[in-house]
Amino acid sequence: MSGCSEDMPFFDEPNARPTAPSGIAARAMAARGGQNSAPDYLKGLNPEQRLAVETTEGPVLVLAGAGTGKTRVLTTRIAHILATGKAFPSQILAVTFTNKAAREMKQRIGLLIGEGNVEGMPWLGTFHSIGVKLLRRHAELAGLRSDFTILDTDDVVRLIKQLIQAEGLDDKRWPAKQFAQMIDGWKNKGQGPADIAEGDARSFANGKGRELYKAYQERLQTLNACDFGDLLCHPIRIFRANPDVLKDYHRRFKYILVDEYQDTNTAQYMWLRLLAQRPSGPQPARSSSPGGRVPSFSGGSDRTEAGSYRPTTPEDESAVPAEGRKPDRASEPVRGPRGGPAPAGAEQPGSVNICCVGDDDQSIYGWRGAEVDNILRFDKDFPGATIIRLERNYRSTAHILGAASHLIAHNEGRFGKTLFTDRNDPEDGKVNVHAAWDSEEEARAIGETIEAYQRQKHNLNDMAILVRASFQMRAFEDRFITLGLNYRVIGGPRFYERMEIRDALAFFRVVANSGDDLAFERIVNVPKRGLGEATIRQIHDTARALRIPMLEAAGNLAESDELKPKPRAALREVAANFERWQKALETKPHTELAETILEESGYTDMWKNDRSAEAPGRLENLKELIRSMEEYESLRSFLEHVALVMDAEQNAGQDAVSIMTLHSAKGLEFETVFLPGWEEGLFPHQRALDEGGRSGLEEERRLAYVGLTRAKKNLHIWFVSNRLIHGLWQSTIPSRFLEELPESHVEIAESGNSYGGYGNPYGGGSFASGRGGRQNPYGASRFDSVGANTEKSGAFSNTYSTPGWQRAQANRTEATDRNWGTRSGHQVERIGYGETDSGYGAGRTSVKGRTIDGELVAKSVADKPSPFSVGDRVFHQKFGNGNISAIEGNKLTIDFDKAGQKRVLDGFVAAV
């Protein structure tokens, strides 16, 4: 055993016991705040939170619902242990999932009891950071030196690729990235090369999976290196093979605390169990894992399914109080298996003070190895455990909590709890459920709702749109650009900044403009065509020497003998492809051409053959890209739009709407939340249902619960009846989760969008939009009221209620009424387009000919410098007065008095 004790405080001895103050010191401390007064750090805690803090002895499970003060309980518990002298800082093992959470925990503890008291806490950190500390202390027991290197993902993939090639295998047929993910999955289960199932071992490289895994581990040992999975698996193996080492840590750690216990995987569970379970004497091996035995790094392949749990029955539901109100639950200090009474005389395996904090209803990471069963069987792993429920919510309204609690009650694999709030404001609104015709109307309506909140002085930073799949973001990003609303994408790049989208756009840009060398250079070797740096440098040199585009230079080199045969053939194919696509640009529909380009280039097949977890999402994004092109007249007009979208700067400090996936939203909260896309196949996601069955459905329901509980005051759920799926418009079915919401907490929103009422396409039910008179079976139309005898009848009389339409009504004159009213039998007709030009805007909007009511539409490409100067005072029809802060061509950055900073074209403003 290597002894790296120099990083530990001098009092960090296994048998060291902190001495509680006594005598004069104790009397002085009591006199400071009164004999019976509670310490300052306990003030403000509710009864359940205080019970969780002060129950320091024995195993404790704190079931902390969303918004119930989980982090405060955990940090206050540590502060209480230290303040009462129950342990030294170095005798507390506190585990979190992220470095950010660990830093915040240490800061909070320091604020409670002083910074100096938390400096000596070397065992507060993430699973992996503590694993590194353990492994460096005992590296030789794992066959390593203490100065071992930790490989990142790229290093791991390169190493595996070398091993695949050394075995004489085709690394394209058997991608190294795919095998790296398989190894990571095995290590998340604590399985070494000898432990993986035969089926898994034979699923890669013609049955050589086990041999490659073993060779990989041997190579890591030769390099004195390990990957992230080894940071847990090596300590597990060391603890199992060296009982004296494990016993030393049993004496060292007086208290163990774990955050987000519901998100632990099997390896993390094993690691914790070894440190927490302390036999009082020689005992036979006992069942203790979710499968019936502790899975180990040396033998975990026989892990079975989790033990059964008593499902929630209708009788149980009848005993549950109305959601959103405080349940009438007696104190439950001690619970046995599945929450039942602890069996009399239940023997505990030694004294262990472990406290796990988590929420079984928020376990949403099963796709990356998390096991919700770990938290569900806590009372079986630690008989006689105290289970404390935190159900008093400080975040959301009673209606939001009621909807969330009623929804999650449909899950069977859960302990069960009911969130409630002491805040009962009669002005609080119910959960709003909206229906839309398609995703474009969904995005328009949500954008208008956000603008309405903004006019009521709500901050954009307090609003969020939470989507199930990343491809849903595109419609919102485009709509917000049109509206001039600031937004930020959290947890990933914005839609048009994703790698696969930028690659596809590069192909399109070269087709539209053969002189776009930047785009050509990006995709000339995508997918891989065997073109190295030397070939690309030669194309560069030829293009500069002859002053021609790189595409043309590539074609010239392909017909010469200056290159070797393989790169020459590859360039000949590239040049021929672009020549063919450019000819089709004038004759083929641009959406069809875009699909052809991605297929014939091999780009789509590249992602289809990619076995990584991101590949399906990238393919969905490419399909959404093609779909988004349909509303544009040509490929060039679409590329012009994208250029303007990508030109919008993303400022982290600005007031902006947050757009993110539901998985990224965990732990966050917003005043107003929008949940679009609640349709079968999207949410719950079909892949989760196909791969996980009932457990997959329950995890999707937990994800819905997480989404609902992010909202503090306003919650809007949306579903549509038509969505483009795999390039085809398909009718969709409302999500089953909508039917699981309680009617008492839900309000059906009236359709006030540009298409009028949603109607009743599903044959009745609570989502029908009944109206007086004969109902249109397809829903009310915005043209239904055209020609009605109103104050302003005719072409402008309908239910269209967007701000732009209202301005048009206000500015309407008799001349414009005649102009619109005499065009067609429908009175409203699409205004024709004028001449086309040769730029990106060709085929969509002429900068010369397109007029509406005799006024020239603002152009997005400047013919001459802007007539405005920085500092000019201007007026915008929508945003009001403001001062110009920056000018770029005909694009103005204006600081509006009320709307904040916006980027607009100079044709839309007037000098004041």
- Copy the structure tokens of residue 526: 């995508």
Identify the CA nearest to 234 among candidates 210, 217, 219.
217
Please name the residues in contact with 705: beta carbons below 8 A apart, sequence gap of 6 or more: 66, 361, 362, 404, 407, 408
- Please tell me the distance from the alpha carbon of residue 14 to that of residue 249, in angstroms, as a whole number: 8
Write down the catalytic residue from 77, 377, 710, 723: 710
Which amino acid type is present at position 784? D
Tell whether 67 is in a known binding site. Answer: yes
H helices present in 409-468, as ranges: 439-455
Q: What is the 3-state secondary structure (H, E, C) of 557-599?
A: HHCCCCCCHHHHHHHHHHHHHHHHHHHHCCCCCHHHHHHHHHH
CB 718 within 8 A of CB 675: yes
How much helix, strand and coil, in percent to the nearest 5, is found in the chain? 45, 15, 45
- For residue 262, indicate whether it is catalytic: no
Please name the residues in contact with 670: beta carbons below 8 A apart, sequence gap of 6 or more: 462, 463, 464, 658, 710, 711, 712
Tally the C-alpha atoms within 13 A of residue 128's C-alpha that lie toward its C-beta: 12
DSSP code at position 296: B
DSSP 465-485: EEESSGGGHHHHHHHHHHHT-
Write down the catalytic residue from 259, 503, 698, 699: 259
In three-state secondary structure terms, 527 is: coil
- Please tell me the distance from the alpha carbon of residue 860 to that of residue 260, in angstroms, as a whole number: 50
Tell whether 69 is in a known binding site. Answer: yes
Tally the C-alpha atoms within 13 A of residue 369's C-alpha that lie toward its C-beta: 18
- Copy the structure tokens of residue 730: 């398909």
- Please tell me the distance from the alpha carbon of residue 359 to that of residue 62, in angstroms, as a whole number: 8
- Copy the structure tokens of residue 11: 């009092």
- Please tell me the distance from the alpha carbon of residue 896 to that of residue 752, in angstroms, as a whole number: 28
- Please tell me the distance from the alpha carbon of residue 552 to that of residue 514, in angstroms, as a whole number: 8
- For residue 694, indicate whether it is catalytic: no
- For residue 70, indicate whether it is catalytic: yes
349 preceded by a cis bond (ω within 30 of 0): no
Identify the CA nearest to 271 among candidates 239, 228, 229.
239
Tell whether 65 is in a known binding site. Answer: yes
- For residue 103, indicate whether it is catalytic: no
End-to-end CA distance of the chain: 79
Tell whether 66 is in a known binding site. Answer: yes
- For residue 71, indicate whether it is catalytic: yes
Write down the catalytic residue from 55, 71, 775, 816: 71
Write down the catalytic residue from 195, 230, 260, 379: 260
DSSP 806-847: HHHHHT--HHHHHHHHTS-TTS--PPPP----SSTTTTT--T
Backbone angles phi, psi at 169, to 5 degrees: -95, 155
Write down the catalytic residue from 362, 397, 672, 799: 362
- Copy the structure tokens of residue 553: 């230079």
Identify the CA nearest to 872 among candidates 886, 856, 858, 883.
883
In three-state secondary structure terms, 420 is: strand
C-beta atoms surrounding 786 within 10 Å: 17
Please name the residues in contact with 149: beta carbons below 8 A apart, sequence gap of 6 or more: 223, 224, 225, 226
Instruction: Work out whether strand 354-358 and strand 873-876 pair parallel, antiparallel, or are unpaired.
Output: unpaired
Tell whether 64 is in a known binding site. Answer: yes
CB 639 within 8 A of CB 512: yes
Please name the residues in contact with 709: beta carbons below 8 A apart, sequence gap of 6 or more: 65, 66, 67, 395, 396, 400, 401, 404, 419
Write down the catalytic residue from 48, 49, 70, 498: 70
- For residue 133, indicate whether it is catalytic: no
Which amino acid type is present at position 86? K
DSSP code at position 303: -
Which amino acid type is present at position 346? A
- Which positions are annotated as active-site residues? 70-71, 259-260, 362, 710
Please report, in range form, the residues annotated as the binding site.
Answer: 64-71
Please report, in range form, the residues annotated as the binding site for ATP.
Answer: 64-71
